Homo-oligomer: A and B are copies of this chain.
Amino acid sequence: MTKRFEVVYRLTLSQGESAESKARGIALEQTAELPRELVPDDVMERMVGRVESVAPAGRDQHLACISYSVESIGSELTQCLNVLFGNISLKRGIRIVDIHWPHRLLEAFGGPGHGIAGVRRLTGIENRPLLASALKPMGLRPTQLARLCRDFVLGGLDIVKDDHGLADQASAPFEERVEYCQAAISAANREVDGQTLYFPNVTAAPWELAERAHHAQQAGCVGVLVNPWLTGLDAMRWIRDRFGLVIMAHPALTGAYLHPSHGIAAEVLLGDLFRIAGADAVIYPNAGGRFGFSRALCERINRHLRQPLGELAASFPTPGGGMSIDRAADWAKRYGPDTIFLIGGSLYGQSDLVTASRKLKQAIGG
């Protein structure tokens, strides 16, 4: 494992640019923010990124590996993101396609508090994919949402989460919603001897987020939903360390980084970054749905969430959408058991949620 923070960039050159000078420019921009001649030699040595390699990779494109010292980051996730893509986000033709993480940063950030194994323990499901659905649409009252909760438990789903747009609207204020929904889940669990979990959306300003996580825990929830790009990525570690809750992360607002020639590859952003920051499960839009993720991309995200990464626990890939009951068995086979399938619209499209949920569960082998 590397001792430095190594970032692999795919560079797309504009007219007149050379790959080597673009790479050297990135190494300076992300650290010293001064031209080379103004940087003292000891700062160059300790703090400025090093261009480790530059190689052609197709027309107008190059792969550059730049390594940064852990000292330039310290042990902070905010500064890690800043070194990764802070100022260069404002340039063009720079795409982060891979990161080699040094042990010290992985230790500092810590990753999932529960991981795949921990979430399995809480749901009592050992060998098959998990099934989740979302409470929607926004605008329903807490009693209506609670009825959906009951149906999903009777249908045998493993996790019910708030839609990520359920915040603190007047139609279903956070505290009231959580009480109604968790009570409905608990009652239905008793009725059918179930173990369905409810994850309310605690995304909010920092002062509210902590209160909502606390409230959710008091109401009996063992997990929550967070939109890390709305709260700041570090909000997840806060929830992990202060509350020990399971964290399911939603990709809202991250899509702008996924541009093919400038940004951060989805498997790095939703795979590596969400995982190191503490997400136990990471939602992404599945191939075949209304977003344009390819199956190959989804499989790369799955791999980044599950593959060995220092001592970090693995996170559950949570593909959302793009899945009908007919195709569920295929998806389960393709993505394997360590997957949470998040099904919304195709369940709501059925006249009877309970029956539709049961069929879906059968289809994936539950």
Interface set of A (CB-CB < 8 Å, partner B)? 25, 29-35, 38-40, 42-43, 46-48, 71-79, 81-83, 85-92, 134, 136-140, 163-165, 167-171, 203-210, 227, 230-235, 237-238, 251-259, 262-264, 285, 290-292, 344-345, 348-349
What are some 20 contacts across the A-B interface (CB < 8 A)?
A32-B137, A33-B163, A34-B136, A35-B349, A38-B349, A42-B139, A43-B140, A47-B169, A71-B170, A71-B171, A72-B139, A73-B167, A78-B203, A78-B204, A81-B230, A86-B164, A86-B165, A231-B234, A232-B235, A256-B256
Chain B residues with Cβ under 8 A from A90's Cβ? 251, 254-255, 258, 285, 291
Q: Say yes or no: A78-B348 contact (C-beta < 8 A), given A90-B258, A163-B33.
A: no
CB distance from A229 to the nearest CB of B (A): 8
Kindly state the separation between the CA atoms of A233 and B35 in the bound complex, as whole angstroms: 30
B348–A167 contact, CB under 8 A? no
Kindly state the separation between the CA atoms of A258 and B239 in the bound complex, as whole angstroms: 31
Chain B residues with Cβ under 8 A from A231's Cβ? 78, 232, 234
A83–B165 contact, CB under 8 A? yes
CB distance from A34 to the nearest CB of B (A): 5
Chain B residues with Cβ under 8 A from A33's Cβ? 134, 136-137, 163, 165, 344-345
Chain B residues with Cβ under 8 A from A253's Cβ? 81-82, 85-86, 89
B256–A76 contact, CB under 8 A? no
Q: Say yes or no: A31-B206 contact (C-beta < 8 A), given A79-B168, A169-B72, A256-B256.
A: no
Q: How many chain copies?
A: 2
Chain B residues with Cβ under 8 A from A74's Cβ? 167-170
Chain B residues with Cβ under 8 A from A238's Cβ? 205-207
CB distance from A39 to the nearest CB of B (A): 6
Kindly state the separation between the CA atoms of A255 and B87 in the bound complex, as whole angstroms: 8
CB distance from A249 to the nearest CB of B (A): 13
The 9 closest A-B pairs by CB, nearest first: A232-B232, A89-B255, A90-B255, A86-B252, A32-B137, A43-B139, A205-B234, A47-B139, A79-B167
